[in-house]
Structure 1
Amino acid sequence: MPSNDRFPAHHLELLPVPVPIGTFRNVLQVGNILYVSGQGPLDRDGALCKGKVGRDVSTETAYEHARLTGLNILSVLSAHLGNLARVKRFVKLLGFVNATDDFTEHPRVINGCSDLLVEIFGEGGVHARSSIGVASLPNNITVEVEAIVEIFPEGNSHE
C-alpha cells in the first residue's frame, strides 16, 4: 500500500486537512477500522466546488469534484495516521450528489472518488459503495463522500 512518497508518481499532492464544520471528528478509529466523516470538494485554496449537478454542474465536472473529495479523504487519513502506509483497504464509500430531481448518473459522479482510490491503492482501493442523489448538501457543495477504511495494526504496514 502507498506511503505519501508514491503520490508524485501519480501526479497527486495531498491537500490541507479540512476543518470539520460541526461537532464531529474527521476520523474516528475503532480498532483497525477508520470511519471518515463526509468530506467534500475543497481545493488547495480552501474554495468549495458548489452547485446542483444536472443544472449548474455537468456529470463530468462533478466527477472531478468527487476525485477532489477523494484527495481530501486521503489527506484526512494521512493526518490521522502520519502517512498512508497503514491503509490496508477501503471497505465502503457512501457518496452523496447534490442533484436535480431528474438526474440519474450518481454512480458516474462518485466514480471520480472510486477511480482515484483504485488508481492509488490497486485492489486495496476496490470497495463496496452506495451513491445517492440528495436535494441539498452543506454549503451547496456538489458531492460529499464518507468512507470506512481498514488499516494494518500499529507497527505494521505494507509499503
Structure 2
Amino acid sequence: MTPYDRLAALGLTLPPPPSPIATYVPFVLEGDMLYLSGQGPKLADGTLKTGKVGAGVGIEQAYEDARLTGLNLLSIIHAATGDLSRVRRVVKLLGMVNATPDFTAHPKVINGCSDLLLEVFGERGRHARSAVGFGSLPDNITVEIEAIVAIDA
C-alpha cells in the first residue's frame, strides 16, 4: 500500500503546499536529506488554526491542529520529491506548541503529527522528536512543526 493509498483510506487528500510567510523556502533538499521549514495548522482555504493551548484551546483540538500541520508537511514533501514513496525515513520532528506557562502536555499535542506520519509511512514514519512549549508562535498559530526526512534517489 502506498502512502497515497493510506491517505485515501484515512479520508485525507494533500492540500496545496503552504506558501512561506516570510523570507525563507519551505524546504531544502541536500543530497538524500530533506529539511522542511516549520509549518502550522493551515486549512486548504488559507484559514489558520489559532489560539493558546491551555487557555481556550484544549489538548484534543491542539492534537487535531498538529495532525493538520502534519498533512501540510506531507504536501511539502510531495512537492519536494514528487512522490511520497521516496520517503526512506522520517528522521526528526521539532514540535512547538503555543502554550500557557503552566501547560505541560506538549508531547500529547505533537502526537497528532507523529501519529499521522506513522499511519501514512508505517515504520518509516517512526522518528526522533522534540515537543516544546513557546510563549507565542507566528500569527498566533497553535502549533508549528518542522521535519527532517531521508529520501531515496
Using the size of structure 2 for normalisation, the TM-score is: 0.96
Residue in structure 2 matched with residue 147 of structure 1 by the alignment: 147
How far did 1:10 drift? 2.3
Query: Does 1:112 pair with 2:112?
Result: yes
Letter in 1 for 2:19: V
Q: Which amino acid aligns with 2:118?
A: V
Identity of aligned residues (%): 60
Q: Which residue of 1 aligns with 2:15?
A: 15
Shift of 1:71: 0.1
TM-score, normalised to structure 1, is: 0.93
Deviation by residue 1:49-92 (Cα, 9 ceiling, x = unmatched) = 00000002001100000000000000011111112111111000
Q: CA deviation at 1:112?
A: 0.1
**Partner-residue secondary structure (3-state), 1:85:** helix
Aligned residues: 153
**Structure-1 separation of matches of 2:26 and 2:5:** 23
Structure 2: runs of 5 or more not aligned = none
In the alignment, the residues of structure 2 paired with residue 107 and residue 3 of structure 1 have an alpha-carbon distance, to the nearest angstrom, of 24
CA shift for structure 1 position 123: 0.4
Q: Structure 1 unaligned runs (5+)?
A: 154-159
Q: Distance in 1 between matches of 2:11 and 2:46?
A: 20
Q: 2-side partners of 1:72 and 1:2: how far apart?
A: 18
The residue that corresponds to 1:56 in the other structure is 56
Contact (CA 8 Å) 1:3, 1:83: kept in 2 or not?
Answer: no
